[in-house]
Amino acid sequence: MHTRRSFSARLITGSAAALATSIAVAEPQDKGAASNTKTSRSGSPEHPTRYHSIDIDGSPIFYREAGAPGAPVVLMLHGWPSSSAMFRDLIRELSTDYHVFAPDYPGFGNSGMPSRSGAGVTFDTLGDVMNKFVDKVGIRQFSLYATDFGGLVGYRLMLKSPQRVKALIAQNNPLFLSESPWFGPLVPYWKDGTSQSRDKARAHYLSAEVVRDLYVVGVRDISLVDPEQWQSDHALLQRPEAAETSLDLLYDIRTNGATLKAAQEYFAAQNPPALIVSGKNDILFSGENQLRYREVLPDAKIHLMDSGHCALADKSGEIAELTREFLRRAI
């Protein structure tokens, strides 16, 4: 059991070294590198997005797939409280050159609801299901596009089968834990795990305001954010089993220190190609937090945009162009 003081002391904040690198955010681009203009590519009509469901341990896992079979694979792992729907535009943009897979976790989007026996749903649970998903759809190697919870799930896949991951694209995704005030209402629940603390976390984090803020806080022009995105996320979150799955995972955040440490060590040793393309005004993982990737990935390309946590909501075109150019050079 952790006290608030001891837990907070273990949270990793942006260091002076990371702050010192902030001047490198607006990096000079190599000749031929992507500009920050919005892409005009419209996807691949020959390989439209298809919607599938596959059985994993007796439960349906929904996924979006697009692109030519045989092309390099990009595996997209979504964040909380969304689903693969958050990648709708990005899938279309990348499908011209890549074979894209974007699954929904158990309890999210259109996937089935997981069993909550025992300790409930954990990140280890999601990592195990996604590992089986990768095996079952026949993915041998992939570039990982991870945002938010997607990193905590994706790192588990990487650490289990490191030869599979060819490159990393991190979008508002933690490699180092953050001491953001956003997590404050979770601390009592992390501390005692009681039903009373869970109910307080439920009232706060499952509210429309919290979900909306993930999309609009830190965004310069919120007229670019389609409100149906966060409204849909919030509506799906209200399903009883989905709500319980989210509360399980919000509680399990406190256990991820060892996984993040192992991922840091792996990146420091292997230095794989990496692109960090995030909203610098993120209320969960600030620009300073994202700059810390360079502590273990000194060659990482970092682009911090004037956006928030769900940067794809208003910067999808820019992110697609940067991702396409990065992958063209990296794999």
Give the helix, strand, coil percentages of the chain, each rounded to 5: 50, 15, 35
| CA distance linking residue 43 with residue 66, whole number of Å | 9
Antiparallel, parallel or unpaired: β 50-56 and 59-66: antiparallel
Vertex 176: Cα angle to 1 and 265 (nearest 5): 100
Phi, psi (5° rounding) for residue 234? -65, -45
Q: Locate 86 and state its tokens.
A: 């958050």
234 is catalytic: no
Nearest to 313 by CA among 216, 195, 178: 216
Q: Which segments within 31-183 are labelled E, that is strand?
A: 50-56, 59-66, 73-77, 99-103, 142-146, 165-170
Q: How far apart are CA 201 and CA 6, in angstroms?
A: 20
Q: How far is CA 215 from CA 78, 116, 122, 140, 287, in A?
A: 14, 29, 25, 33, 16
Contact assessment for residue 136 and residue 54, using Cβ atoms and an 8 Å cutoff: yes
- Say if CB 62 and CB 52 are below 8 A apart: yes
Residue with tokens 């190599």: 30
Side by side, the strands of the sheet bearing 50-56 are 50-56, 59-66, 99-103, 73-77, 142-146, 165-170, 274-279, 301-305
Catalytic residue chosen out of the listed positions 78, 99, 303, 309: 309
| Number of separate helices (H) and strands (E) present in the chain | 13, 8
Which residues, including other chains, have CB under 8 Å from residue 122's CB and lie 6 or more apart?
248, 249, 252, 255
- Positions annotated as catalytic residues are 309
